Amino acid sequence: MTEKTGERRRGAELEAALLKAAWDELAAVGYSRFTFEGVAERAGTSRPVLYRRWANRHDLALAALKAQFATASSDVPDMGNVRDELITLLAGFADRRTEVVTVVMQQMGEFFAETGSAFQQLREEVLAGRRMVFDDLLDRAVQRGEVDPARLTPRVRSLPGDLLRHELLMTLKPVPRRVIEEIIDQVFLPLVRKQ
């Protein structure tokens, strides 16, 4: 499958392989030792192949993070009630994003120092231009009459995700379902339900 074995990858297949190799390299060695050489070796290709797509290691690391977040996203079907949908969504995020958050927190310190940024800026850059599944879910809940749209301020909308992310950052472990249910039942729904 790799160029080393004679089979050439092209287009989207090649880019996906490069981004996976970059992610695996970030997770293994951290940003401080993240190099084009290491990614190229892991991907079974050459450095020029990487340089044709990304100008520097910052751009490559950012592209790898964006790809990881994209694969960690999921849609939640209409389950008929906002509580079940929110729990399903957060549980899915917790399952798929624990590794991403752990790598960012443990391995990206030098990235933040080099770029003068913080986790918030990185998150904004990774998620830029993407419609959040959470917004679609809440819009559906408003249409069903379960949630008061006047109560869905930007801060309140972000609260379940913020609390989940906080839990991940504090423990660097998967978030138990009971914690997700507490976030939804004890904090979020009481804030947004129609009275």
Q: What is the mean pLDDT of residues 140-168?
A: 92
Helix (H, G, I), strand (E, B) or coil at 152: coil
Do residue 59 and residue 85 come from a single domain? Answer: no
Do residue 86 and residue 140 come from a single domain? Answer: yes
Do residue 184 and residue 98 come from a single domain? Answer: yes
Do residue 170 and residue 127 come from a single domain? Answer: yes
140 pLDDT above the threshold of 60: yes
Rounded to an integer, what distance in angstroms lies between the CA atom of residue 158 and that of residue 142?
16
Structural domains counted in the chain: 2
For residue 164, give its domain range.
Answer: 73-192
Tell me, yes or no, if the pTM score tops 0.75: no
Do residue 179 and residue 130 come from a single domain? Answer: yes
Question: Residue 98 region, left (φ>0) first, then alpha (ψ -120 to 50), else beta?
Answer: alpha
Q: Tell me the C-alpha to C-alpha distance, in Å, between residue 47 and each of 13, 37, 38, 62, 168.
A: 17, 6, 9, 17, 34
Non-local (6+) Cβ contacts of 178 within 8 A are: none
117 pLDDT above the threshold of 80: yes
